[in-house]
């Protein structure tokens, strides 16, 4: 059975009633109900780590290969990181290469803006909202259980995020999902890190399958890399629209 989970009080995530009236005395500002509707996606300029199951959901939903949808970043070894040889497809230079990496959402180098943040008539919106990773779903709340705690280092929301009962329920559900997904991720990368070979393709073949199996997920249609033009070319040959190469 999972441990009791609760959200951590914070002045920028005040607990409110159904109408958005604050229920705590820690809120110095007036809370705003559903603030994301007006926000230009401040949190979408932050680094978002992606667990293996988050990666599966994202790539399967948008039908894009793993290396197109995600970034592999070298990091100091930590509980979520995996050992991997430097791979020229994804890793910048030998300098600073630690031998460990993690998965994250692709971002613009200068602005930090997530590649999935899109402009719709002047509003900034997530283009993969239904399949966004749990790091996005749980922002901006902090949380604790008997043995763990988590949440953002700082809250980037421009106004206090009103936590009505329905918001709190949704966040608790998403935090629990994040805890469960990272537990599977950590177990899989721990098993991978014990192995001898550490190529990136081997990592995906091992880790994606192992994570999916533990969660009862499907890995159908998941590829490590691909190219839409080449795929179309292959399909045109297969369908007879183009002749096979001589």
Q: Among 117, 163, 118, which Cα is nearest to 140's?
A: 163
DSSP category for residue 54: H
x/- track of binding to ligand SF4 for residues 40-69 (CB under 6 A):
-xxxx---x---------------------
For ligand SF4, which residue of 27, 103, 139, 217 counts as binding (CB under 6 A)? 139
Distance, CA of 4 to CA of 1 (rounded, Å): 9
- Does position 128 interact with ligand SF4 (CB under 6 A)? The reply is yes
Of 120, 157, 141, nearest to 32 by C-alpha is 157
The helix/strand/coil state of 201 is helix
Residues numbered 68 to 107 that lie near ligand SF4 (CB under 6 A) are 105
Contact call for residue 172 and ligand SF4 (CB under 6 A): no
CB of 163 to ligand SF4, least distance (A): 12
Question: Looking at beta carbons only, is 124 or 193 nearer to ligand SF4?
Answer: 124
- What are the start-end ranges of the E strands in the chain? 6-8, 71-74, 82-83, 100-104, 117-120, 123-126, 142-144, 149-150
Closest distance to ligand SF4 from the beta carbon of 155 (Å): 7
Binding site for ligand SF4 (CB under 6 A): 35-36, 39, 41-44, 48, 105, 114, 116-117, 126, 128, 132, 136, 139-140, 156-157, 161
């Amino acid at each position: 059975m999972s441990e009791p989970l609760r959200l951590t009080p914070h002045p920028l995530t005040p607990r409110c009633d159904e109408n958005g009236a604050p229920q705590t005395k820690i809120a110095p500002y007036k809370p705003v109900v559903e603030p994301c509707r007006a926000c230009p996606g401040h949190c979408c300029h932050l680094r978002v780590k992606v667990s293996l199951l988050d990666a599966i959901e994202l790539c399967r939903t948008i039908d894009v290969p793993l290396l197109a949808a995600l970034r592999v970043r070298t990091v100091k070894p930590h509980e979520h990181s995996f050992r991997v040889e430097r791979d020229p497809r994804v890793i910048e230079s030998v300098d600073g290469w630690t031998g460990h990496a993690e998965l994250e959402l692709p971002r613009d180098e200068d602005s930090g803006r997530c590649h999935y943040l899109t402009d719709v008539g002047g509003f900034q919106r997530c283009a993969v909202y239904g399949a966004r990773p749990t790091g996005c779903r749980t922002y901006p709340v902090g949380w604790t259980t008997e043995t763990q705690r988590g949440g953002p280092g700082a809250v980037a929301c421009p106004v206090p995020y009103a936590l009505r009962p329905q918001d709190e329920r949704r966040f608790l559900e998403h935090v629990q999902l994040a805890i469960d997904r990272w537990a599977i991720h950590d177990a899989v990368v721990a098993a991978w890190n014990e192995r001898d070979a550490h190529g990136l393709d081997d990592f995906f073949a091992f880790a994606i399958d192992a994570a999916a199996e533990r969660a009862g997920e499907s890995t159908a249609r998941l590829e490590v890399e691909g190219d839409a033009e080449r795929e179309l070319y292959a399909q045109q040959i297969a369908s007879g629209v183009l002749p096979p190469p001589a």
